[in-house]
Structure 1
Amino acid sequence: MMEQPLFGRRLRELRRKRGLSQAALAGEEISTGYLSRLESGVRQPAERVVAYLAERLGVERSAFEVPSSGSSLAQALSIATSADGDGDEAIDDVISALADADHEDPLLRWQALWLVSRSRRRRGDRAEELAGLAELARTADELGLPELQCRACAAYARCLRTAGEVTRAIEIAAKAVRLAKAAELSVPDTGAALTALVSAEAEAGRLPDARAHADELVELVEDHGGTLKAEALWSAATVRFRQGDQEGAERQLERAIKGLDSLADLTLWVRLRLAAASLYLQSTPPRMDLGRLRLTEAGAALGFVGTPLLNQELRTLQAHLAFSEGEFARARAILDELHQGELWLAYRDRIRLGVLDSRLLILEGHLEKGLRQLKGLGEEARQGFNIDLSAEIWRILAEALEDAHRPGGSAGS
């Protein structure tokens, strides 16, 4: 009997060498789904199927027993890194090979984990990305190479922050900065580490520390352009906005937008416009014209780089814009649409979406439910050490309570 997963790996290798798709090899006797499960090692092949596949491939049965050239992980990684576009199918093969690669060369594992984590980030699969980045950081420590340790920690800290684990994110980002400075790493590596630290400190409300590191970051990348400088200015803008410096935040973010060509990184080009729209809509008072302009620009480009996450971020901001414009029914319709599927939003965006839902509930006459939900969100933000977010929620709650007690205010249901 052919043993899995070796049979599946060899079958995939033989199929690809002959330039066959799974559908072409499966023919009329077996389904492509069954063939896929054979290749992934999930199903054990029957003798009849082995004979059929050998005939289709033009090989002897013994060909399935020949060891493949090189390790399965090395092959999968080579195919994935040379694939056109995102190569999702190739990435899935890397993930499958990683599961059976406990004793592979750690350097090869690191490369595979890095590739997989970037794919998961594009897809918005944050839970899987977080687990993979934790393993990536451990593998980098095992290798002891400062460049890889710094890059792994910076990416891990960024993902921790977006998941709401800001205390751990600060710890890991600070480690990345120490590694970068001790080993005198390149400006891109040091800048990425500082960016992760600034974002985590700002999220935790440690604004003096975040401002100091943001100023250091902007000075570091001043003579650099492209994505590095754009992300540095974006981080600095976030800190200034949370310190109440709306004009300073706007200047930094608009510099980032003007300094980045869409050809350099279209995804970042879109994200900067979504960030600017968010800033304008959170300003006091909301700057709806500018917010609407940036959302229109971002929306026009999403057809080229749209992912579930980016599309949800756009729709979330459109809901906030509708609320600010008094179009409460439209805001509710967008929220209902978002909640029909899985939410890929970052922690802060999910909390703010919950706040919007609560405010709509109050306006719709569900006072007690809306207030209860706001209290829960405020407590969640406080426990997650998101100080400024928690303060914003309690302010909204206080205003809702004050409005409810005015003559003609919202009534409970």
Structure 2
Amino acid sequence: MLEQPTFGRRLKELRVERGLSQAALAGGEISTGYLSRLESGARQPTERVVTYLAQVLGVDRSAFDTPPSGGSLAQALSIATSTDGDEGIENLIAVLGQVREEAPFLRWQALWLISRYWQRRGRRDEEQACLEKLARVADELALPELQCRAGSQLARSLRSTGEVTRALGIAVNAYQLAKGAGLSVTDTGGALLTLVSVEAEAGRLPDARAHVDELVQLVEGRSDPLAAEALWSAATVRFRQGDHEVARNYLERAMKELDSSVDLTLWARLRLAAASLHLQSAPPQTERGRACLDEAASALALVGTPVLRQELLTLQTHLAFEEGRYADARALHDQLHSDELRLTYRDQVRLHILDARLMLLEGREAEGIQRLKELGEQARQQSNIDLAAEIWRILAESLEDAGRARNNAGS
């Protein structure tokens, strides 16, 4: 009898080698859900199903008796890099977990591809664990380019989950490595992008300003994704320093200079960033925010990932709130299930702030105030100084509004 999970791994290997999707292999005979369970080892195959699968795959039944090749990391990498979609990456994850060979360059390449896969899905724990391994392999290889890239990505991942202190040390090291080794503009610029984002998150705005000015100068004359992200970073830093007009100018330049045909995903992300900036302005620029969100939505219908779709829905929630459509804001907020959020730490906190403000408007004063206090303390402990200050400001205003309402009611 064919044993699981060996049968499932071999079945998936044969399917991926032939470039078939699960739907194509399942055909009209079995469901894709059943096929998925077969491949994962959760179901035992029947003789009829084995005969059918062998026929569609064009192999003899005995092919399923052959152990999965799993040991060839080079083969799995070749399949992953030449297969559309993510099935090749899923196979690569399985193979990487089985191999024991010492092939650090192949292992580094596999980990790099897999970390990107987890990033697209917003699976931050898996992404971070993968990047930790990637950094260790890069150190083993002692190649500055690989060490810089691994460090930059790891620092970004740590920043996104609120681990700012550790992210800062790693980002500084990656930047110093790029400068010391005279790496390319792409590597040095990538390290600077990460360093600026971490410094800004840590509230070290003077340092972030100096480094982002260096970054903008570094990419001067370029018209590519790196230049667009540099201008975006400059906009972020200037906005947090309170220079909103200059921030908008930087972001508008980035949107103007990056053509959607070059990188449609980044094109959409820039419009999400612009919408966020408009909605955080004082007073909020809701019309401009809505226009940016409409443009982003049209692009994300084509290239949206789970993370980007959540970012879009989150900003649509903020827009509804700022427009005074509180019932709509609550309905949109409740579509974002807290146990499935794939947003960055900062965006999650801002969403929780909005939830607390809705509670206050809904008459749940004690609950809303308690939530704001908890968020403020959490941000302080994570060294997110400017975020903590924003929360305490909102809390103070909320307490003042509540006191005023009680006084008006008593008079």
TM-score, normalising length from structure 1?
0.89
Partner of 1:77: 77
Partner of 2:360: 362
Question: Could you tell me how far apart the structure 1 residues matched to 2:23 and 2:337 are?
Answer: 36
Q: Is the 8 A contact 1:8 1:41 kept in 2?
A: yes
Describe the shift of the 1:40–1:229 C-alpha distance in structure 2 as closer, same or farther (beyond 3 A): same
Written as runs of structure 1 = structure 2, the 5 A alignment for 1:138-157 is 138-157=136-155
Q: Does 1:288 align with 2:290?
A: no
Question: Could you tell me how far apart the structure 2 residues matched to 1:144 and 1:184 are?
Answer: 15
Q: Which moves more between the two structures, 322-331 or 226-235?
A: 322-331
Written as runs of structure 1 = structure 2, the 5 A alignment for 1:56-205 is 71-84=71-84, 87-205=85-203
Letter in 2 for 1:75: Q
Deviations, residues 114-142 of structure 1 (Å, cap 9, x unaligned): 11111111122222111111111111111
Q: Which moves more between the two structures, 10-19 or 319-328?
A: 10-19
Partner of 2:312: 314
Letter in 2 for 1:239: V
- Measured after TM superposition, the shift of residue 72 of structure 1 is 3.2
Letter in 2 for 1:219: Q
Q: Is the 8 A contact 1:404 1:410 kept in 2?
A: no
Q: Is the 8 A contact 1:237 1:252 kept in 2?
A: yes
- Measured after TM superposition, the shift of residue 339 of structure 1 is 2.7
Of 326, 335, 338, which aligns to 2:336? 338
Q: Is the 8 A contact 2:71 2:98 kept in 1?
A: no
**Residue 75 of structure 1 aligns to a residue in which SS?**
helix
Q: How many residues align?
A: 409
**Residue 311 of structure 1 aligns to a residue in which SS?**
helix
Question: Could you tell me how far apart the structure 2 residues matched to 1:248 and 1:116 are?
Answer: 38
Describe the shift of the 1:56–1:292 C-alpha distance in structure 2 as closer, same or farther (beyond 3 A): closer
Q: Which moves more between the two structures, 45-54 or 145-154?
A: 45-54
Of 227, 234, 243, which aligns to 2:232? 234
Partner of 1:262: 260
Question: Could you tell me how far apart the structure 2 residues matched to 1:129 and 1:385 are?
Answer: 23
- Measured after TM superposition, the shift of residue 32 of structure 1 is 6.1
Letter in 2 for 1:208: P
Question: Could you tell me how far apart the structure 1 residues matched to 2:30 and 2:289 are?
Answer: 54
Question: Could you tell me how far apart the structure 1 residues matched to 2:361 and 2:407 are?
Answer: 10
**Residue 319 of structure 1 aligns to a residue in which SS?**
helix
Deviations, residues 169-208 of structure 1 (Å, cap 9, x unaligned): 1111111111211211110110000000000000000011
Q: Is the 8 A contact 1:363 1:410 kept in 2?
A: no
Question: Could you tell me how far apart the structure 1 residues matched to 2:157 and 2:149 are?
Answer: 13
Partner of 2:299: 301
- Measured after TM superposition, the shift of residue 13 of structure 1 is 4.5
Gaps of 5+ in 2: none
Partner of 1:398: 396
Deviations, residues 192-232 of structure 1 (Å, cap 9, x unaligned): 00000000000000011111111111111112221000101
Q: Which moves more between the two structures, 195-204 or 73-82?
A: 73-82
Q: Which moves more between the two structures, 273-282 or 39-48?
A: 39-48
Describe the shift of the 1:157–1:409 C-alpha distance in structure 2 as closer, same or farther (beyond 3 A): farther
Q: Is the 8 A contact 1:362 1:410 kept in 2?
A: no
Q: Which moves more between the two structures, 265-274 or 44-53?
A: 44-53
Question: Could you tell me how far apart the structure 2 residues matched to 1:287 and 1:15 are?
Answer: 51
Gaps of 5+ in 1: none
**Residue 405 of structure 1 aligns to a residue in which SS?**
helix
Q: Which moves more between the two structures, 11-20 or 226-235?
A: 11-20
Q: Which moves more between the two structures, 267-276 or 307-316?
A: 307-316
Question: Could you tell me how far apart the structure 1 residues matched to 2:45 and 2:405 are?
Answer: 75
Q: Is the 8 A contact 2:70 2:99 kept in 1?
A: no
Question: Could you tell me how far apart the structure 2 residues matched to 1:70 and 1:98 are?
Answer: 8
**Residue 340 of structure 2 aligns to a residue in which SS?**
coil
- Measured after TM superposition, the shift of residue 69 of structure 1 is 7.0
Letter in 1 for 2:75: Q
Describe the shift of the 1:60–1:230 C-alpha distance in structure 2 as closer, same or farther (beyond 3 A): closer
Describe the shift of the 1:407–1:101 C-alpha distance in structure 2 as closer, same or farther (beyond 3 A): same
Question: Could you tell me how far apart the structure 2 residues matched to 1:261 and 1:272 are?
Answer: 11
Question: Could you tell me how far apart the structure 1 residues matched to 2:17 and 2:387 are?
Answer: 55
Letter in 2 for 1:148: L
Describe the shift of the 1:43–1:410 C-alpha distance in structure 2 as closer, same or farther (beyond 3 A): farther
Q: Is the 8 A contact 1:113 1:136 kept in 2?
A: yes
Describe the shift of the 1:219–1:36 C-alpha distance in structure 2 as closer, same or farther (beyond 3 A): same
Deviations, residues 346-373 of structure 1 (Å, cap 9, x unaligned): 1101101111111111111111111110
Describe the shift of the 1:62–1:359 C-alpha distance in structure 2 as closer, same or farther (beyond 3 A): closer
Q: Is the 8 A contact 1:367 1:410 kept in 2?
A: no
TM-score, normalising length from structure 2?
0.89
Q: Is the 8 A contact 2:314 2:351 kept in 1?
A: yes
Q: Is the 8 A contact 1:198 1:214 kept in 2?
A: yes
Describe the shift of the 1:39–1:291 C-alpha distance in structure 2 as closer, same or farther (beyond 3 A): closer
Question: Could you tell me how far apart the structure 1 residues matched to 2:53 and 2:285 are?
Answer: 64
Letter in 1 for 2:194: A
